[in-house]
Each structure stands twice: as structure tokens, then as C-alpha cells.
Amino acid sequence: MVSPYGVGLSRLHAGMLAGQCCLEPVSELYPGFQGTVAAVGSLPLLHDGHHYSRSDRLAMVAARDAVGEIADSYPTFHESGIVMASTVAGLTEIDPEIAQGPAAWYRHGGLSRAASYSVSRVSASVGEHLGIQGPACAVSVACASGALAIALAANMLLDEAAPMVLAGGSDALCPFTLSGFNSLQALDRDPCRPFDQDRKGLNLGEGAAVLVLETLAHATQRGARVLAVLRGWAMTNDASHPTAPQKDGIELAACIHRAMEMAECSIDEIGYVNAHGTGTPLNDIAETHAYERAFHGRSQPIPVSSTKSYFGHCLGAAGALEAAITITSVRTGSLFPTLRLNNPIESSKIDWLHGEVRRQPLPVAMSVSAGFGGSNVALVFGSHSA
Amino acid sequence: MKPTSPVLTGIGSVTPYGPLAGLISTGPLEPSAITAWTTPGLRRAFLVEAFRPASIVPGLKTRRLDRLSAWALVASSLALRDAGIDLAKMDRSRIAVFFATGFGCVELTEAFFQSAATHGWAETDPIIFPETLSNAPASHVALFHDLHGPNVTISSQGFAAESALLQASSLLRHGQADLAIVLAGDTLTQAIYEWYEAAHLLSPPCFSKEQLPSAGGFIPSEGVVAMVLEPTGRQESRPYAALGAGRWAVGGDARTGVRQLLGDATPTFTICTGNGGPCASRHTTCSARDLVGEDATIYPSQPVATGIGDASALLHLLLALSRRPGAGDALLLATSVDGGFAALRLELF
């Protein structure tokens, strides 16, 4: 994993446990921009001889961190599959001048940079970096991309398409997306406040997370340390508006139900939801309605938090980063609160986590993602013993 | 094929052959001269002629969409029509959309860059930005047809369409959807064409009508092909084909991979989606003859207009079905210079 906390899950975990917020005011990302983002510091150098975009490099570093020594020691590792998500991909490498004369832009050094434009390059870069030659693809479903990559990777395991699949997402900060969200007036200039009644918008972040998925039988056979079990997954689409979420959250709730159905767990068994929680007025209210609908009849309010309040919205990487955080919560029993949640949206059915880190046994938890275009993804993770 | 094999029941396309439901009856095309932007001389490609989407799909509004999204809407509508699907009778929460693309919504991405170049990043166009996202076409398909199932946009270097077919089939097999619309396509823009040219990937006929296409390179194309997949037994009419097992890998040893897929079987037909011909979509050489044997019948036997980048396999499949090779086992096959391959077994009806 690569996050604004640095390389590795342990750094992110330690930072979040300490309540450290990585969001910082910046103004140099492009002339006229003033806002708050969470950036990754220096990335390790990669001497591959190719031109890689920043999203590619984030993905490569995260994948190397995820696989550890099995890349060199496990005999069939090169047959692994890869499903990587990205929305930005190589957009970081393209200058606006390309639109005013592509041929001239290519002549002046743009040719090799343009080669990293396609979103498929993110998964290809991971494969090249780790010597993986199995089935590889990249998915791009806006902010739900990272979670969807994990769901598709799980399907690939069901199909025995590969002995293990690396799944995750990667996205870098870039003027294109900052400008786009700014034009939509979706950004909060200050650190975001997901699920707060006074929320004003989101902050962008960057990072990458990669999960190594394999069947339990395969993991047991090779003596792997099982971090968690992906018990259920589901994908739905709002089909209601190109950008705005469905106000009543019906399809997101349906997605949650389907994931629980696959996981064969009840609404009372889900101990925590790591929410999409962007901090935009529209998303957070729609998501609130979805949780109220999905967990209706639960004996206790459902604990929910948004960890985007720590390091912003990492777009295509967000779902994968948040899946990793959810797994950490299951493993350690640490439920991270939403930062700056002082005046939560009123709901008797939701236990908004704020203040201190909550400690409790957590056999089963859910990570929820949603995105432009109406895509919803829900992932249910359980402890190995659950 | 197993009883659970997904079957291909409907085809719709917007390609240089025009907007069509079902198979393509016309013969090979000639590339046409590019007029959409100023070129330094004659530049040719297989282009989609402008048409009014509402004349094909009544009520369809595409004024704010780029061509890729508009074509996806038309192609998906034609495919559903061809399959005889009445969506009113279907559970729309169980209909999935898969969209394979190499470059995504490049037209509006270029427009957004243009807006930044002209006015600065601080003054870009909020209407354009959401439409630059690669999943915009698939989202519009879901929105237009009111489809609430999984909505996936996928890209895979060289094998995007094959990957989408396999992932959609997987969803149907595992009961995660009842029907899937699989689309694949790209648009050709000035920035893409000039990138191909700068990288010396274009075939001589791109520059001259007199040049023969046998001198290497490829002729770019554009368009979207949509196919309806349903589980066996659900369809109401005779399908075009049943989809069997498939495999894909981005590197390694294609021969071993294809052999593992085929076992002892020898397909009657091999539909090669990257035949190395100058009009093929990829500049890699597909060694189909080497992989499936000297006696195999390989389609296409002649270069065809199929260059829609990584997402071209659906058009290759459509063209092969349109040539009506007859019933029998088939193999959809693409290979790459890295030893990568995508192979999918089919039963043609």
C-alpha cells in the first residue's frame, strides 16, 4: 500500500490510530487553485527503463509491498492475475497543449508520455514490475473502481482463471481531476467533514492499494498468513443520474443486501461499515438513506465511519485503500472514527463513529464504494475464524 | 458446451459499416479520407459516418454526449432489439453492462484539455468533466435502459473486449446477473491518430489510395459493437453462438495456454482477432496457424476493417459470424508479441 502516510499498511494504521490527518492546504497544483489535498511524499525510485505515469508507479510500489517475498519465492506467482483500477491513470502525463496540436506535442517529448495514457497501463505496469504474465485487466468505474477490481478478481478466482489475483487501485493527484472536481464545486477548501451536517465537499488524495486474493484452499496449501476472508461482494448501478447519487439510496442498499446474502450473514452480524463518505452534500445524505434502508430492523444502530477524513478521496484507489482499512479493523478490532464529525447527520439507525478509536471484536465488516455513473460496490470481509 | 454456457442472442453495432442490428451483410470497406481535422496531406482511416441517433433509436437524446457514449446507446439498443428482449418483462436489477475500451472518452478528454489550454485549469468546463470518465458510456447505457445490475468498464492491453466477454460470462455463470450487454469500442480522434502516426504504426494505405495494405502497420478504425449474453435456456430465439471456456494471459507461452484450453479438441473455425494483416487492429502478429494447425479454417482470411484498438474483438467476432462460416466449434483467438493471448471457445449455430 502507498498512502499519504507512506509505504505500507503499518504506517497507515499507526497514523490513523494516532488520529493523524494527512490533508494539507496547497496552492501550487495549478495557478489559481487553493484547496486541501493529501499527497504521497517521495516514491521509491524504479529502474525499469520505461516511462511510467505516477499512477503506474504508485501501483507498482503498492503491489511490491503487497506481495512481499512471494514474488520471488512462490513457483507459480508469475501465473497470477491482476485487476487494477484507476480513473486518472496516465492523465498525469498529458499537457493541455496536446489539444492545440497533438503532432507538435508528440514531437516535443510527448510520444513516450502518451504511451502511458491508457488505464490498462496501470495493470500492465504492475505485471511488468513483478514479472506476472497471467490474465490482467484494469477497471474504471469512477470512485467505485478499486472495490470493483476486488469483486472482479474474486470472480476470477471462482473461475480458476489464476491461482491468485492481485487486485486494487491506484490514482495520482493531477490538475485534470482537481480542476474537474473544482469546476463541479465539489471540493471543500478546508479538510472535509464527511457525514457532518456542515459538510461542504470532498478533498482529493492519492495513493494505491493492492490486495493479494487467493482461495482459502490455495492459501492454506502454500502456508500463507490469511489476513481476512472476502465473504461476499456485490455490484449495482443507480441508473438515475450521470453524476448525482440516487437520493433515497435504494440501489446502494440493494447492493449491500446482495453482498450480505452472498456472505450469508445477517444485518446484525455486520459490525462496522467503512463508508464511501466523500463529504459532499449529495453523496453523504444518499449514503445515509442507503444504510438506514439496508440495516432497517437491526437490533443496534450500525457503526459507520468515513476514513476519507484522514487522507481524502483517492478516486480509483479509494475502494482498495478502504478495503485494506476494513480488513485492518477486522484483524485488530480497531474502528476508526470519522475526523471532524462534530454535528452528524441525524439518524437513529446509524452509530456515527467519531472521537476516539473504538475497540471491539469485529468478526465481520463491510466496505462500501460508490461513484459517478451510479456504480455501487459492497465488500464483506470476515476474520479467518469467523 | 455446458448447459450453463452463456449464449449470444443479440448484436448491435455502430461501425464504419453503419448502425446495424444483427449481422453485417456488406463486403469489405475502403478506408475514407479524414476531414474532421486538418491533416498534413491525405490521411485515411475506417471511419463511422455521422448519423442521427434518434433516427435509429426513437427518442434517444445524445446532444450532450460524445460519440462513444452515443454509439454505445445506439449499439446496445440495436442489440437488445436483435435479441428480442422486452426489458419491461425483465428484472432490470439483474442486467449487467460491460464496456471494453482502449482509450475511453477521448473526445471530451481532449475538449477538457482544450478548455484548460484556452482558459487555464481554474476555468474548465463542469459539463464536460464527468463525461471524460471512461465509464461514462456504460453509465449512459444503464441510465437509458434503466439497468441496475453490475456496471463495469474494462481495459486490458490488447485484450479488452475478450476480457469483458469472459468477465461477463463469469457473472452469468455465477448467478450474479441474468443478462449482460457487452460492448466494446473506441473513437478515433486527432490526438489518437497522430499518436499512431508519430509512433510509425500506420499502414501505407493511410497515406495513399494506391498503396497496398501488405506493407505492415494498420489502418485505424472506430465504432462500438454490443452483444447480448444470456444463460442457456433463457433466450427465446435461436442464438448466434454459445460461449464456452476461455483463458487470457498477458505474457508467457500462448501455445501452452491455448492447448490447455482446447485439450484434445480441434476447433473447426478459428476467428483470429489480430491476424497480423495490415487492417487488423493490432500491430502484433497472431500466429493462429501455428497454434491451431495447418488444416484449421481461419477467419478473416483477408484483411478487414477491424481496427478498434484493444476493443476490436467483438467486431472481429461479428464479421466472422456475418461471413456465416457454418455451425461448429470455434475458437476466438488473439495473441501478442509478448506471448500473451486471449482464447475463447465458441459453438457457432
**β-strand pairing of A6-7 with A2-3:** antiparallel
Q: What is the CATH number of the domain that holds B247?
A: 3.40.47.10
Pair B13, B73 in one domain: yes
Tell me which residues of chain B, numbers 195 to 214, contact chain A at a CB-CB cutoff of 8 Å: 195, 197-199
Residues B192 and B118 in one domain: yes
Cell of B300: 478473416
Q: Which chain A residues contact residue B251 at CB under 8 A?
A: 127, 132-133
Q: What is the mean pLDDT of residues B44-49?
A: 93
The CATH number that domain A229-382 falls under is: 3.40.47.10
Over residues A122-127, mean pLDDT: 95
**Are B226 and B305 part of one and the same domain?**
no
What are B78-118's pLDDT values in tens digits?
Answer: 999 999 999 999 999 999 999 999 899 999 999 999 999 99
Residues B87 and B118 in one domain: yes
Cβ burial of B284 (10 Å; 0-12, 13-18, 19+) is: middle
On whether residue B292 sits in a domain, the answer given is yes
Angle at CA of residue B285, ends B281 and B286, nearest 5°: 90
Identify the pLDDT of residue B287: 60
Which among A127, A27, A141 has a CA at the least distance from the CA of A80? Answer: A127
| Catalytic-residue membership of A218 | no
Which of B238, B273, B296 is the C-terminal boundary of a domain? B238
Same domain assignment for residues B266 and B219: no
Give the pLDDT confidence of A311-346 residue by residue, as tens digits.
Answer: 999 999 999 999 999 999 999 999 999 999 999 999
CB distance B113–A121 less than 8 Å?
Answer: no
pLDDT in tens, A83-109: 999 999 999 999 999 999 999 999 999
Alpha-carbon gap, residue B179 to B85, rounded angstroms = 10
Q: What integer is the mean pLDDT of A371-381?
A: 97
- Picking from B212, B238, B264, the residue at the C-terminal end of a domain is B238
Instruction: Give the span between the Cα atoms of A382 and B133, in whole angstroms.
Output: 33
Distances (CA, A) of A80 to A60, A84, A85, A215, B295: 15, 13, 17, 12, 33
Q: Using H for helix, E for strand and C for coil, what is the string for B270-309? A: EEECCCCCCCCCCCCCCCHHHHHCCCCEEECCCCCCCCCH
Q: In which band, very low, low, confident or very high, does the pLDDT at B74 lie, cut at 50, 70 and 90?
A: very high
The domain locations on chain A are: 2-221, 229-382
Per residue in A344-364, pLDDT (tens digit) is 999 999 999 999 999 999 999
* Those residues with Cβ within 8 angstroms of residue A321's Cβ, 6 or more apart along the chain or in another chain: A1, A3, A12, A146, A169, A207, A208, A209, A307, A311, A314
Four-residue CA torsion sign, A28, A31, A34, A38: negative
Residues 6+ apart with CB under 8 A from A43: A2, A54, A57, A58, A61
Mind listing the pLDDT tens digit for each residue in A30-71? 998 999 999 999 887 776 667 899 999 999 999 999 999 888
Q: How far apart are CA B4 and CA A382, in angstroms?
A: 30
Mutate: best of B121, B128, B283, partner A, most A CBs <10 A: B121
- d(CA B197, CA A219) in angstroms, rounded, equals 47
- Nearest chain B residue to A174 by CA: give it: B121
> What does the mean pLDDT of chain B come to?
87
Query: What cell was used for B65?
Result: 454526449
Give the pLDDT band of residue B213 (cuts 50, 70, 90).
low
Domain A2-221, CATH homologous superfamily name and number: Thiolase/Chalcone synthase (3.40.47.10)
A123 touches chain B (CB under 8 A): yes
Residue B63 predicted with pLDDT over 80: yes
- Interface A-B, measured as beta-carbon pairs within 8 A, has a size of 231
Please indicate, yes or no, whether residues B117 and B223 belong to a single structural domain of this protein.
yes
Q: Establish if B120 touches chain A: CB-CB under 8 angstroms.
A: yes
Q: Say if residue B275 is in the same domain as residue B232.
A: no
Task: Please check whether residue A183 touches B, CB under 8 A.
Answer: yes
* Cell numbers describing residue A264: 450469508
A182-204 burial code (b ≥16 CB/10 A, e <16): bbbebbbeebbbbbbeebbbbbb
Q: Among B219, B238, B257, where does a domain finish?
A: B238
Q: What ipTM did this prediction achieve?
A: 0.96
Interface test with A, best of B167, B335, B337 (most A CBs within 10 A): B167
Report yes or no on whether pTM surpasses 0.90. yes
Structural domain includes residue B1: no
Q: Which pLDDT score is estimated for B294?
A: 67
Single-letter amino acid, residue A49: G
The H or E element that residue A377 is part of is strand A375-382
Q: Residue B343: is its pLDDT beyond 70?
A: yes
What's the pLDDT band for B216 if we cut at 50, 70, 90? low
The rounded distance, in Å, linking the Cα atoms of B62 and B65 is: 5
> What grid cell was written down for B139?
453509465
Give residues with Cβ within 8 angstroms of B188, minimum separation 6: B45, B47, B220, B221, B222
Overall average pLDDT of the B5-33 stretch? 92
Residue A253: CB partners within 8 Å, gap ≥ 6?
A289, A290, A291, A293, A294
- Chain A residue whose CA is closest to B139: A373
Give the pLDDT score at B336: 75
